[in-house]
Chain A
Amino acid sequence: MSAVAPVRAFVRARDHRRRTWSDHYITLVALALAAMLVTPVLVRAVEAVPGALAPERAGAGLALIALLLAGGLVLARAVGPVSVSAADAAWLVLSPLPRRGVLARTLLVLGAVCVAGGALVGLALLSALGTPDALTLRLPASVVLGVSWTLGGMSVAVLAQGAQSWDARLVGVIAVLVAVAVAAAAMSAGPGSGVLAAAASAPVAAWTAAACASAAAAAGLAGRAWSALARFPARAVLDASTRVGLAAGALAAMDPGTLTWIAEDAHWRTRRLRSRAWPVRLPGAAAVAWLDWRRLARRPGRLALVAAAAVLPVLAARAGGAGWAVLLVLAAGALAVAATSTAGARRDAGDPALARLLGAAPRALLAARAVLPAVLGGAWLTLALAGLDLAGAGGSLWPLGPLCAPALAAGALRLARRRPIEHTMPVMDTPLGPVPLGPLRWALEGADIAALGCLPALMAFAGGVTAPLLGAQAVWGAAVLAAYCAAARRG
Chain B
Amino acid sequence: MAVDLGGAAVLRGVDLTVSPGEVVAVVGANGAGKTTLLRCLAGLQRAEGRVSVLGRPPADEPGFWREVALVGDEPAWYPGLTVGEHLELMRAVHGPGRLEVAAALELFELGGCVDRSPVSLSTGQRQRLSLAMALLRPSRLLLLDEPERGLDAAFRQRLAGLLADYSAAGGTVVMVTHDPAFAQAARPVALEAAA
Contacts and interface: CB of A to CB of B under 8 A. Distances in A.
B137 A291 contact: no
Contacts of A265: 79, 119
Contacts of B78: 291, 295, 343-344, 347, 354
Given A275-B85, A357-B69, A268 B80 contact: yes
B65 A357 contact: yes
Interface stretch (A277-285, A312-320, A449-457): A277-285
Nearest to A299: B80
A343 B92 CA distance: 19
B117 interface: yes
A264 interface: yes
Given A270-B120, A295-B80, A356-B70, A278 B91 contact: yes
Interface string A245-265: 000000000000000010011
A74 to B, nearest CB: 19
A269 interface: yes
Nearest to A291: B78
Contacts of A277: 88
Given A275-B114, A351-B75, A298 B89 contact: no
B79 A268 contact: yes
Interface string B86-100: 001111111000000
A287 B89 contact: yes
B81 A291 contact: yes
Given A344-B78, A357-B65, A357-B133, A278 B89 contact: yes
B65 A278 contact: no
Given A356-B60, A356-B65, A269 B119 contact: yes
Contacts of B119: 265, 268-269
Contacts of B70: 353, 356-357
B83 interface: yes
A269 B134 CA distance: 23
B76 A354 contact: yes
Contacts of A96: none
A239 to B, nearest CB: 14
A275 B80 CA distance: 10
Interface stretch (A22-30, A159-167, A358-366): A358-366
A170 B59 CA distance: 54
Interface in B62-83: 62, 65-66, 69-73, 75-83
Contacts of A347: 76-79
B176 to A, nearest CB: 15
A421 B76 CA distance: 20
A17 interface: no
A123 to B, nearest CB: 39
A287 B93 CA distance: 6
B120 A269 contact: yes
A488 B156 CA distance: 39
A276 interface: yes
Interface string B125-145: 000000001100100000000
Nearest to B70: A356
A273 B71 CA distance: 26
Determine chain A's interface SS by DSSP, over half rule. helix
Among B66, B72, B76: residue with most chain A CB under 10 A: B76
A282 B92 contact: yes
A295 B90 CA distance: 17
Contacts of A261: 76
A299 B94 CA distance: 28
Nearest to B121: A269
A346 to B, nearest CB: 9
Among B62, B73, B77, B88: residue with most chain A CB under 10 A: B62
A295 B114 contact: no
Contact of B73 (A273, A279, A284, A353): A353
B93 A291 contact: no
Contacts of A290: 89, 92
B89 A268 contact: no
A274 B80 CA distance: 11
Contacts of B88: 275, 277-278
Interface in B152-172: none
B33 interface: no
A354 B70 CA distance: 9
Contacts of A291: 78, 80-81, 85, 89
B117 A273 contact: yes
B143 to A, nearest CB: 10
A344 B78 CA distance: 6
Contacts of A358: 65, 89-90, 93-94
B65 A359 contact: yes
A273 B119 CA distance: 13
B84 interface: yes
A88 to B, nearest CB: 26
Interface of B: 60, 62, 65-66, 69-73, 75-85, 88-94, 114-117, 119-120, 133-134, 137
Interface of A: 261, 264-265, 267-280, 282, 284, 287-288, 290-291, 294-295, 298-299, 343-344, 347-348, 350-351, 353-354, 356-362, 490
Given A277-B88, A353-B70, A354-B133, 17 more contacts: A261-B76, A264-B79, A265-B79, A268-B79, A270-B120, A271-B117, A274-B82, A278-B85, A278-B88, A287-B89, A287-B93, A291-B89, A299-B80, A353-B75, A354-B76, A357-B137, A360-B93
24 contacts: A261-B76, A265-B119, A268-B80, A268-B117, A273-B116, A275-B82, A275-B84, A275-B88, A275-B114, A278-B89, A291-B81, A291-B85, A294-B85, A295-B79, A298-B80, A347-B78, A353-B73, A354-B77, A354-B78, A356-B60, A357-B69, A357-B90, A359-B66, A361-B62
**What are the 10 tightest A-B residue pairs by CB atom distance, in nearest-first order?**
A295-B80, A275-B84, A353-B75, A351-B76, A359-B65, A278-B92, A287-B92, A278-B88, A268-B117, A361-B62
